[in-house]
Structure 1
Amino acid sequence: MTQRTDVVVVGGGQSGLAAGYHLRRLGVEHVILDAQAAPGGAWQHTWDSLRLFSPAPYSSLPGRLMPPQPGEPYPDAGHVVSYLADYEKRYGLPVHRGVWVSAVHRDGAFLRVETDGGDWQTRAVVSATGTWTRPFLPAVPGRRNFTGRQLHTVQYRSPAEFAGQRVIVVGGGNSGAQIATDLAGTAELTWVTQRPPRYLADDIDGRALFDAATARRRALDDGRSDSGGVASLGDIVAVPPVRAARDAGLLHAKPMFTRLTATGVEWADGARAEADAVIWCTGFRPALAPFAALRLRGTRGHIAADGTRAVDEPRLHLLGYGDWTGPASATLIGVGRPARDAARDIASLLR
């Protein structure tokens, strides 16, 4: 049986909830289809010590400030999950859980959303699927030859399982720095980065990053020169644990190795390091597989967008994937504005 609604939001994490909030305010009928069994999006699956880059009030979705976490200036992932669950309940958002969206097709004047629980016919779709389900692993020579354990950021939980082991952490971004910090002192750590680590100034957190991303987008929209945005400030937010490990001399990055061997890694000069495990903190790609049938994918796996609206399919909006769908839109505080713009655009389309 096919169900009908004006808008289907695919994904019930922070971006999907922000979209639901603004659609609800505009009186637009919609459903939010989420594959997860419980609220919280990808925040349910992060490593134990993960902390936000900003204080709670600066990590909030539209309409509802995140309350502080007692004793934690930068809240942990569990606090975010609780906040998202409360947010969903507070605004009565129509989230359907445990629903896996397999494909979206054009169906005349409508879009047809295929799920494992039946189809939905809708006039517009918001893609809020995020990136967590599409971890990226670089094509490094010898990766299949390594006999130790390999895992990505998404599989890492705590340093306890690596106690006393030789661990190589690959990645010079926030995930790499935080996981390297987590392991320092517990494992025999080797931290590897493409370029020397670039720490942001200690007094910079997510508030400044959001402002920098917004200023860059405004400059580009106005035809002014590119300020560089967040990338111009650095790659790593010096949250307190990272700052402490850095200042204690526990974080020494080596350049990227050239290949993996059966028992470790090797650099261009022939130097080697043995390893029991390699943790790839090498980022993600947008999870856009359900939209393959629309044939919209372009360079780097992105769908060309004007703001959040897909250029070649105006009934589709993309939300929360990064600057290409709105300044800082992959962050809690940053997704509100593009979600508002998408909801307004959709309301106009429906009229």
Structure 2
Amino acid sequence: MPTTAPLLIVGGGQAGLATAHVARSLGLAPVVLEAAGQPVGSWPHYYDSLTLFSPARRSALPGAAFPGDPNGYPARDEVVAYLAEYAAHLDADIRTGHRVEKVVAAEDGDRCGFEVVTAGGDVFATPLVVAATGGFSRPHRPDLPGLPEFTGTVLHSSDYRHPEPFAGKRVMIVGGGNSAVQIAIELAAHARVTLATRHPLRFMAQRVLGVDMHIWLQRTGLDAAGWARPLLTGGTGTPVFDTGTYRDAFAAGNPERRPMFTRLDGDHVVWSDGTRERADVLLLATGYRPGVDCLAELGALDEDGRPRHRGGLSTTHPGLGYVGLEWQRSFASATLRGVAADARHVLTRLRKQQTRAGSPAPSGR
């Protein structure tokens, strides 16, 4: 017999933990299934020098302030420690080492909901599922011309940890987001680095009048305004938050930025003017895709494997929701500071869906 749960949360990182906290405040008793050995999401796998792009005071999950300087920018390991401590004090059934293999519709016609099956063979029956694996669990490797035959080293930014192994090498980085720029700046002190992008880099001031830009975005409402998305992205993706240091480094040519090459040939990149340049390492800072393969059999994904949803509510299956996707509802949706608001939005609406369907809302312990 399956184990029953009023709410099943897939993923125990920042999105899953925030969703569990909100669920408890709504009277639900969630079961959280996390594939890894600890409920800290993807944070341990990011590069060593990574720091948050928003200050600690705006990077806390509900119910627990981020320790340390509230105006500082926490490092990777500080985030890992914070999430581990948060999970330890969360009133929720968190089961680590439980990788969800598939989610299917319940076979019992009299029971609305889902069956969730783990790689270990555990089965859970639940009326509500929230996929909270976030938007950073599956590294994206674009289909670049010549990439399969490239004879140099190919890495994704998820493979990068620190610059020392790249000393003296010629490194080409593909991508123009915050991580791409941060890695390029760090590597430039050890290697010759070029950042190849399809669009010019777009920097946004980290602070305006002494106040962090993330705070301004929240105060003005631009954070969650749908019409503001083109303004914030410029049509080229998330802007790079900068105190001026990054802009100055690129202006000085260390690292350099060039328009995207046309193809790869052996261990060379071929630029748009036909010139060729040898590269020891190709580092793809090309982002991630949601890790929601477990929903494929359910039929909840589009042809590219992305969730079909509106504001985090599945458009294919009542009772199914998402938390932690990029631009799910706002600029901050995939961040520590944005997941709680989206979790509350999704959970309250999932319960309303269930009430309208004629089933009582699931209760807590």
Give TM-score, length-normalised by structure 1. 0.91
The separation in 1 between residues aligned to 2:162 and 2:197, in whole angstroms, is 21
Residue type of the alignment partner of 1:132: F
Contact 1:213/1:229, CA 8 A, preserved across alignment: no
Alignment match, 1:114? 117
Deviations 1:272-313 (A, max 9, x none): 221111000011111110001121223654323232211221
C-alpha deviation, 1:27, in angstroms = 1.8
Label 1:333 to 1:157 Cα distance change in 2 as closer, same or farther (>3 A). same
C-alpha deviation, 1:40, in angstroms = 1.5
Deviations 1:72-105 (A, max 9, x none): 9211110011111111122233210011100000
Residue 81 of structure 2 corresponds to residue 82 of structure 1: yes
Contact 1:213/1:327, CA 8 A, preserved across alignment: no
Q: Among residues 134, 154, 157, which one is paired with 1:130 in the alignment?
A: 134
Task: Give the share of equivalent positions with the same residue, in percent.
Answer: 37
Instruction: Indicate the RMSD between aligned Cα atoms, in angstroms.
Output: 2.4
Q: Which moved more, 1:163-172 or 1:324-333?
A: 324-333
Give TM-score, length-normalised by structure 2. 0.87
Alignment match, 2:33? 33
1:43-192 to structure 2, matched below 5 A, reads 43-68=43-68, 73-107=72-106, 108=109, 109-117=112-120, 118-192=122-196
Label 1:323 to 1:299 Cα distance change in 2 as closer, same or farther (>3 A). farther
Alignment match, 2:289? 285
Deviations 1:93-149 (A, max 9, x none): 321001110000001412000102311011100001123332111211111121111
C-alpha deviation, 1:269, in angstroms = 1.1
Contiguous gaps of at least 5 residues in structure 2 = 355-359
Residue 261 of structure 2 corresponds to residue 268 of structure 1: no
Alignment match, 1:7? 7
Instruction: Give 3-state SS (helix, strand or coil) of 1:189's partner.
Output: strand
Q: Among residues 228, 231, 234, which one is paired with 2:233 in the alignment?
A: 231
C-alpha deviation, 1:211, in angstroms = 2.8
Deviations 1:180-216 (A, max 9, x none): 0110120121221111111112426561585399536
Q: Which moved more, 1:87-96 or 1:261-270?
A: 87-96
The separation in 1 between residues aligned to 2:279 and 2:219, in whole angstroms, is 39
C-alpha deviation, 1:323, in angstroms = 1.5
Contact 2:262/2:272, CA 8 A, preserved across alignment: yes
Contact 1:200/1:234, CA 8 A, preserved across alignment: no
Q: Which moved more, 1:181-190 or 1:96-105?
A: 181-190
Instruction: Give 3-state SS (helix, strand or coil) of 1:129's partner.
Output: coil
Q: Which moved more, 1:321-330 or 1:161-170?
A: 321-330
The separation in 1 between residues aligned to 2:9 and 2:160, in whole angstroms, is 29
Label 1:156 to 1:92 Cα distance change in 2 as closer, same or farther (>3 A). same
Label 1:203 to 1:32 Cα distance change in 2 as closer, same or farther (>3 A). same
The separation in 2 between residues aligned to 1:209 and 1:282, in whole angstroms, is 27
Deviations 1:3-48 (A, max 9, x none): 1111100000000001000111122121000001123211111001
Residue 326 of structure 2 corresponds to residue 322 of structure 1: yes
Contact 2:223/2:330, CA 8 A, preserved across alignment: no
Alignment match, 1:20? 20
For this pair of structures, how many residues does the alignment match?
345
C-alpha deviation, 1:162, in angstroms = 0.6
Contiguous gaps of at least 5 residues in structure 1 = none
Contact 2:217/2:223, CA 8 A, preserved across alignment: no
Contact 2:205/2:243, CA 8 A, preserved across alignment: no
The separation in 2 between residues aligned to 1:57 and 1:63, in whole angstroms, is 13
The separation in 1 between residues aligned to 2:61 and 2:213, in whole angstroms, is 14
Label 1:255 to 1:208 Cα distance change in 2 as closer, same or farther (>3 A). farther
